[in-house]
Amino acid sequence: MFKTELCDLLGIQYPILQGGMVWVSYNELCAAVSNSGGLGILAGGSMTADELREEIRLVKEKTDKPFGANIPVVKPDSESLVNVAIEEEVDIISTSAGNPKRFTQKIHDAGLKVIHVSPSPQLAAKAAEAGVDAIVAEGIEAGGHDGFEEITTMALVPQVVETVDIPVIAAGGIADFRGFVAALSLGAKGVQIGTRFAATREAQGHPDFKKAIIDAGPTGTAITGRGFGPTRSVRNRLTDQILEMERRGAGLEELLKMIGTGRSRRATQDGDVEEGTIYCGQIAGMIRELKSVEEVFTEIIEGAEVLINELGKVSTASR
Amino acid sequence: MFKTELCDLLGIQYPILQGGMVWVSYNELCAAVSNSGGLGILAGGSMTADELREEIRLVKEKTDKPFGANIPVVKPDSESLVNVAIEEEVDIISTSAGNPKRFTQKIHDAGLKVIHVSPSPQLAAKAAEAGVDAIVAEGIEAGGHDGFEEITTMALVPQVVETVDIPVIAAGGIADFRGFVAALSLGAKGVQIGTRFAATREAQGHPDFKKAIIDAGPTGTAITGRGFGPTRSVRNRLTDQILEMERRGAGLEELLKMIGTGRSRRATQDGDVEEGTIYCGQIAGMIRELKSVEEVFTEIIEGAEVLINELGKVSTASR
């Protein structure tokens, strides 16, 4: 049993959210997470409005539990995506990459909850002012798009907790019961887990993409785009090239031209793990096999109960 | 009350070590930490062998509790420093920056314990093979010299715990009871705290150096030297200059010439907080006032007991 105020807010059993990962978080993963007691989140970031509508309907065929959709505010069609999420009645909209103020009122008027992903206490404060219901405080260890601020989860979460009055969800560097309890210790009321769920059977994605996460190891990811839009992915031929260009001081235009578009899709859908971008968190080093969503949940919850019990013994142990 | 196996190993009351910070960790800080129940550690990194001898003697006048000295293996006079630490009978030698194998046997033959600071599971495994008694797993959020691997504490600690069979001490991003309990949750048997102790009354250091830590805020530190020797310090005129040079792809020679030597001393001793290097962890954002060592200990231990009690309630709460 695990219950925090976040469970009440979102209507879920365990305070565990699944990150809305582009090309990865589709109906099967989303429904499996919600059916396991967490909050599944569809990746609006890699869907058209029509695709999102279809995916929402497919989730609803597979679960009657709450679930959500992530919508990057800066995405050109973000307004259509928000409209679809409202029309098709998801329970929670997670906004990221941009100011949530643009949609907060509309989402609340429709009776949905909104949570916003923030990489710094300053941006978290801004989102709280905009009226969001909860904040995902995401550290630089997270996969995909990261904050320019490069604040780690360990440093970020307690500062966001001290900054805002709404529940904080920790993200970045969390893949198991240890990370889960550590996040709660830092003051979070729940966690958002990405990479661990990307390496599940239910996640969308090419087998070679999932294998790349499992094989990454402790030092297998890198941040590229520090100057213009930091993202974390598995080191491969592409990241080596980008990092080399960055080291020699290549300009933005040259970098963007080389990177082009569609790199994430290329790795995740097509399995081109050398020339595509394998978005992946640093905690990949702890991920050594493909699991089912249910296994991931069971291990986190059971492990956390044992761990918290052990912490209790440490704190009362007499000399 | 807090007791882990690390307390037995090192003969201390609380599993809290104070990092051996150059120009900061002298006899007053070291003795205060040990007298508070933790392990004070002198900064051999900024001392000559004669200075270290004198500092050890001064600590012994102020406490009869165990304490240690940190000695960077790559420092040209590291062997003399180790010899002095053994002759003057510190209890623990903490090695860093280099392979501890060079000194492990000698330290053990003298009846002292040795712990080694590692930024990656691979280097931790190497240190464990060399026979050290415990590992400090230090994440990229830590101040001063960091690993090229840039692994965060959240991702690093559980991987080191799974890699070695000796106690792991978490470092990087820890300044209060939240970080302390989070570290124990990640599998560490204790913590090493730097920056929080640098901003105490007992720490050596110019008032403006301590003020710079307190004023840093959540995004006030930066990593420089990514290509040749990453260090984390407070952003100032100097780091801005270095970062600008790095962005335009400046070569190693040009960078080293500009940086020169003595920058840390200049900030820490002389208080030149614009042209000196203010080594400082990212957790500075959580540090908002100068405290005494005793206050820091009391707040961590009391806060941790309350927090662990609350975690127990979350894990058994029924729906």
Question: SS in 3 state form for chain A?
Answer: CCCCHHHHHHCCCCCEEECCCCCCCCHHHHHHHHHCCCEEEEEHHHCCHHHHHHHHHHHHHHCCCCEEEEEECCCCCHHHHHHHHHHCCCCEEEEECCCCHHHHHHHHHCCCEEEEEECCHHHHHHHHHCCCCEEEEECCCCCEECCCCCCCHHHHHHHHHHHCCCCEEEECCCCCHHHHHHHHHCCCCEEEECHHHHCECCCCCCHHHHHHHHHCCCCCEEEECCCCCCEEEECCHHHHHHHHHHHCCCCHHHHHHHHCCCHHHHHHCCCCCCCCCCECCHHHHHCCCCECHHHHHHHHHHHHHHHHHHHHHHHHCCC
Residue of B nearest to A312 (CA): B308
CA pair distance B237, B245, nearest whole angstrom:
13
Please, which residues bridge with residue A45 across strands?
A: none
User: Angle A12-A286-A283 (CA atoms, 0-180°, nearest 5)?
Assistant: 70
The β-bridge relationship of strands B92-96 and B67-72 is parallel
Confidence of residue B227 (pLDDT cuts 50, 70, 90): confident
Q: Do A309 and B312 touch (CB under 8 A)?
A: yes
Q: Which residues of A touch B139 (CB under 8 A)?
A: 152, 154
| Residue B122 contacts A where some CB pair is shorter than 8 Å | yes
Residues 6+ apart with CB under 8 A from B141: A152, A154, A155, B152, B153, B172, B173, B232, B281, B282, B283
Residue B109 burial by Cβ neighbours in a 10 Å radius (0-12, 13-18, 19+): exposed
Selected residue of B154, B309, B318 to mutate for chain A interface (largest A Cβ count, 10 A): B154
Q: How far apart, in whole angstroms, are the C-alpha atoms of residue A241 and residue A223?
A: 13
Residues B267 and B168 in one domain: no
H/E segment holding residue B118: strand B113-118
pLDDT of residue B168: 98
Q: From the list A141, A181, A187, which residue is nearest B185 (CB)?
A: A181
Closest-CA distance of chain B to residue A286, Å: 6
**Domain carrying residue B242:** 207-283
List Cβ neighbours of B296 (8 Å cut-off, separation of 6 or more): B36, B193, B196, B197, B200
Pair (B169, B255) in one structural domain: no
For the beta carbon of residue A11, count every other beta carbon within 10 angstroms.
Answer: 12
Q: Which residue shows structure tokens 């109906």?
A: A27
- Alpha-carbon gap: B170 to the closest alpha carbon of chain A (Å): 11
CA distance B173 to chain A (A): 5
Mutate to test the interface with B, among A5, A185, A239, A286 (most CBs of B within 10 A): A185
Judgement on whether residues B120 and B249 belong to the same structural domain of the protein: no
Is the domain of B10 the same as that of B35? Answer: yes
Does this model's pTM top 0.80?
yes
Could you report the per-residue pLDDT of B59-115, keeping only the tens digit for each? 999 999 999 999 999 999 999 999 999 999 999 999 999 999 999 999 999 999 999
Is B185 in contact with A307 (Cβ distance < 8 A)? yes
Residue appearing with tokens 């495994």 = B125
Nearest CB neighbour to B311, from listed A140, A184, A317:
A184
Mean of per-residue pLDDT scores for chain A: 96
Domain count, chain A: 2
Structure tokens of A73? 């505010």
* Amino acid B317: pLDDT: 64
pLDDT for residue B234: 98
Tell me the per-residue pLDDT of B149-164, one tens digit each, with 9 for 90 and over. 999 999 999 999 999 9
Contact between residue A98 and residue A120 where contact means Cβ atoms under 8 Å apart: no
Please give the C-alpha separations between residue B209 and each of A99, B28, B224, B279, in angstroms, as whole numbers.
Answer: 36, 17, 18, 9
A158, A313, B71 from B1: Cα distances, Å:
23, 10, 31
B65 and B186 in one domain? yes
3-state secondary structure B182-251: HHHHCCCCEEEECHHHHCECCCCCCHHHHHHHHHCCCCCEEEECCCCCCEEEECCHHHHHHHHHHHCCCC
Contacts of A224 (CB under 8 A, 6+ apart): A230, A231, A233, A239, A242, A243, A246
Query: Which of B152, B248, B250 lies nearest to residue A154, judging by beta carbons?
Result: B152
B309 interface with A at CB cutoff 8 Å: yes
**Alpha-carbon distance B316 to nearest alpha carbon in chain A (angstroms):** 5
Contact present, B161 and B187 (Cβ < 8 Å): yes
The whole-angstrom distance between A207's CA and the closest CA on chain B is 24
In this prediction the ipTM stands at 0.97
End-to-end CA distance of chain B: 31
Arithmetic mean of pLDDT, B272-278 = 98
Residue B154: which of A152, A159, A307 has the nearest Cβ?
A152
Q: Are residues B302 and B227 in the same domain?
A: no
Question: How far away is chain A from the Cα of B21, in angstroms, using its nearest Cα?
Answer: 20
Among B159, B174, B285, beta carbon nearest to A285: B159
Q: Which residues of chain B does A232 touch, with a Cβ-Cβ cutoff of 8 Å?
A: none
Question: What CATH number is attached to the domain comprising B107?
Answer: 3.20.20.70
Identify the pLDDT of residue A319: 39
How far is the alpha carbon of A272 from chain B, nearest alpha carbon, in Å? 25
Q: Mutate which of A13, A152, A177, A189 to test chain B, going by most B C-beta atoms within 10 A?
A: A152
Mean pLDDT, residues A283-290:
98
In B192-231, the residues whose Cβ lies within 8 Å of chain A are 218-219, 223, 227
| Same-domain status, A144 and A44 | yes
Condensed to tens digits (0 to 9), the pLDDT of residues A165-192 reads 999 999 999 999 999 999 999 999 999 9
Q: How many CA atoms lie within 13 A of B6 on its CB side?
A: 28
B-chain residues within 8 Å CB-CB of A311?
181, 184-185, 308, 311
Q: List, for residues A220-268, the tens digit of each pLDDT value.
A: 999 999 989 999 999 999 999 999 999 999 999 999 999 999 999 999 9
Nearest CA-CA distance, residue A196 and chain B, Å: 13
Residue A318 confidence (pLDDT) above 80: no
Mapping DSSP to helix (H, G, I), strand (E, B) and coil, where does residue B70 land?
Answer: strand
Set of chain B residues whose Cβ sits within 8 Å of the Cβ of A184: 185, 311, 314
* Strands A231-234 and A144-145, sheet pairing: antiparallel
Q: Are B79 and B58 a contacting pair, CB within 8 Å?
A: no
B187, pLDDT greater than 60: yes
Helix (H) or strand (E) holding B113: strand B113-118
Please report the residues numbered 250 through 269 in chain A whose beta carbons come closer than 8 angstroms to any beta carbon of chain B: 250
From A306, which residue of chain B is nearest by alpha-carbon distance?
B315
User: If you measure CA to CA, which chain B residue comes closest to A311?
Assistant: B308
What is the C-alpha separation between A109 and A99, in angstroms, rounded?
A: 18
Closest CA to A167 of A2, A16, A4: A4
* Interchain CB distance below 8 Å, A182 and B178: no
Extract the tokens encoding B42: 């002198």
Distance from CA of B58 to the nearest CA of A (A): 28
Q: CB contact, 8 Å: B308 with chain A?
A: yes
Which residues from chain A sit within 8 angstroms of residue B162, using beta carbons? 286
Q: How much is the pLDDT for B158?
A: 98
B115/B246 same-domain check: no
List chain A residues with CB under 8 Å of B173: 152, 154-155
Residues written for chain A: 319
Surface-to-core class of residue B296, CB atoms within 10 Å of its CB (0-12 exposed, 13-18 middle, 19+ buried): buried
- The answer to whether B181 contacts chain A (CB < 8 Å) is yes
Q: Does A167 touch chain B (CB under 8 A)?
A: no
Same domain, A22 and A92: yes
Question: Is A289 in CB contact (< 8 Å) with chain B?
Answer: no
Q: Do A282 and B151 touch (CB under 8 A)?
A: yes
The answer to whether B120 contacts A218, with C-beta atoms less than 8 Å apart, is yes
Output the pLDDT for position A1. Answer: 73
- Considering CB atoms only, which of B122, B140, B247 is closest to A249? B247
Q: How far apart are CA B53 and CA B19, in angstroms?
A: 19
Together in a domain, B64 and B154? yes
Per-residue CA distances from B116 to B70, B98, B162, B175, B188 (Å): 9, 9, 17, 21, 14
Say yes or no to pLDDT of A97 above 60: yes
- Whether A168 and A157 have beta carbons less than 8 Å apart is answered as yes
Quote the pLDDT of residue A317: 64
- Examine the domain organization and report whether B180 and B56 are in the same domain: yes
* pLDDT one-digit tens code per residue, B40-63: 999 999 999 999 999 999 999 999
Residues A39 and A77 in one domain: yes
Tallying the residues shown for chain B, one arrives at: 319
pLDDT of residue A164: 98
Q: Which residues of A touch B178 (CB under 8 A)?
A: 158, 185-187
